[in-house]
Structures are given as structure tokens and as C-alpha cells.
Amino acid sequence: MSFFQLVRLKALLTPLLVAAMALAAGCGSDPKRDGRDDVEKLYADARDDLNSGSYDKAIKTLERIEGRAAGTLLAQQAMLDMAYAQWRTAERVQAIATLDRFIKLNPSSPALDYALYLKGIVNFNDNMGMLGTLARQNLSERDQQASRDAYQAFGQLVEQFPASKYSADAKLRMDYIVNSLAEHEVHVARYYFRRGAFLAAANRAQQVVRDYPQAPANEEALYLMAVSYERLGLTALRDDADRVLKKNFPKSRFVEGGERVSDRPWWKFW
């Protein structure tokens, strides 16, 4: 099963759906049953549309369900499914807005952990799309806000619901995001260095070392600091960066025979 199929399945099998079905099953003698039957039929139609990939049609139906079943578990489920469908139709902003509304209106919902997870996934995959166009985009113009938003949502999930079935995956994605953010900063530092903006390059590389101390990108960040400080004539800072590079990455590709490799055009490696 692919990741997208897994998320799709989870969107249809949250605790809310199970609870809503159980509640419906116990209401056979309720005089308001006819109205519930209509809403449940609408939801069944929406699920069919979700399963078949007819997301635009599903969204319209789910909007009707949310309005007609307001205050019920089914309405909450409709909001979550709507957010999922909006994401699958590339409407990230609308999906996030729907999830934010769900989180605000249902702070004690049994599916709050799933809502936070889905919010993280929506932003995470938006960022992955940006990474996919890296080679065609000016590095200085890229925005990592989607990564930061995903990290925040995953972090809230892990903190509030450490036992959630979504927390383990959220932690893995948080590690990936940290590495991705650090790599982005290194790309920007390299961009500045290539254009002779050595102070900007050094500062951006230093930010990587300070903010993401465990990220693999620290290796190149320290090298960038050393060569940038060298170009600026700041020998003490250069030597400090050299020392930390050699201590933490003794087998670095930027170090040969115990000496730092000269500032050759290393970016040609990429």
C-alpha cells in the first residue's frame, strides 16, 4: 500500500467514524431517524466519491453533511474527510483552513490527534513538492514555511498525544524536516558564496550550526564558514570553523590529510 493510499484509508477509519456508526446503529426507534438516514446516505455517497477519486464532488457533499449534522460526530468526520479531499485536489490552503477550524471547534475530539497529523502531512507534502523543483528554482527564492508549519503540527501531536498511533511516524517526519531545513540554509549559503557575498554566506552557514546542531548539513555548513571567513580575512574565525569541522567530521570530503580542502568550486559536485 502506498503512503497516499494509507493516508486515504486512515481518513476514512478515524475513531470518529467508528463511533458515529455505532451511534447510528443504536437509534433504530428514534422518531428523527428519517433525517439521520438522509445524512448517513449522503455520507455513504461521499465515501464512495472519495474512494473513486471524485474529490470535488465529495467536498460538496461533505459540506452539506457538516451543515445538516452540526454538533455530531458525523459532522466532525465530514470535516476531516473534507480536509483530506481538499488536500488531494491540491487545495492546501483550504485543507489547512478546514483542519484549523476543526481543531478550534473540537479541542476534545477523539480524532484531534489525527487532525494534527493530517495537518502536518498536508504541509509536509507541499514542501516535498517544492523540493522536487529545486533544480529549476532560484535557491534564494525558495520558502520553507510549509516545512516549519508541518514541524509545528507534528510537534503538537507528539507532545499532546505521545501514545497516538500517529506519533511514531510524526517523529520520523520531524527528523526529516529538520534535515531538510538545514539543507535549505546550506543551499542559500552556497548561493551567497558563489556570488561573492561572503559575510552573508558565513552568517547563513552559522545559522545551520546553531539551529540544527545534529543535522548532516553541518559538515558543509562548517566548511562554508571556514572558506567564507578566509575570503573575508577573518583568520581567527576561519581557524575556529576549521577546528570544529575536523573534530566533528574527521573523514569529511572537505578535509584531506588533516587539512581543509581549498575553496575550489565544490558546488560542481551537485
On whether the CB atoms of residues 144 and 184 are closer than 8 A, the answer is yes
**3-class state of residue 259 by DSSP:** strand
Question: Cell triple for residue 53?
Answer: 477519486
pLDDT of residue 30: 56
Question: Cell triple for residue 169?
Answer: 511516524
pLDDT band at 249 (very low <50, low <70, confident <90, very high): very high
- 7 part of a folded domain: yes
pLDDT of residue 89: 94
100-114 pLDDT tens trace = 999 999 999 999 999
Report the mean per-residue pLDDT for the chain: 83
Instruction: Give the residue numbers spanning the domain of 75.
Output: 1-25+33-98
- 63 part of a folded domain: yes
Q: What is the pTM of this model?
A: 0.75
- 42 part of a folded domain: yes
Q: Which residues, including other chains, have CB under 8 Å from residue 148's CB and lie 6 or more apart?
A: 181
More confident residue, 106 or 138: 106
* List of E strands, the chain: 255-256, 259-260
Phi, psi of 257 (to 5 degrees): 60, 30
Looking at the structure of the chain, the number of domains it has is 1
Paired with 259 in beta bridges are: 256
- 203 part of a folded domain: no
Q: Is the pLDDT reported for residue 9 higher than 70?
A: no
pLDDT of residue 135: 44
- 6 part of a folded domain: yes
111-130 pLDDT tens trace = 999 999 999 999 987 655 44
Q: Is the pLDDT reported for residue 133 higher than 90?
A: no
- 46 part of a folded domain: yes
68-112 pLDDT tens trace = 988 899 999 999 999 999 999 999 999 999 999 999 999 999 999
- 152 part of a folded domain: no
201-212 pLDDT tens trace = 999 999 999 999
On whether the CB atoms of residues 3 and 99 are closer than 8 A, the answer is no
pLDDT of residue 256: 72
pLDDT of residue 132: 45
- 180 part of a folded domain: no
Among the ranges given (19-28, 175-184, 257-266), the one the predictor scored with the smallest mean pLDDT: 19-28
Compute the half-sphere exposure of residue 104: CA atoms within 13 Å on the CB side of its CA.
6
- Scored b (16 or more CB within 10 A) or e, 239-256 reads eebbeebbeebeebebbe
Phi, psi of 255 (to 5 degrees): -125, 130
pLDDT band at 213 (very low <50, low <70, confident <90, very high): very high
Round to whole Å and give the CA distance between 233 and 236. 9
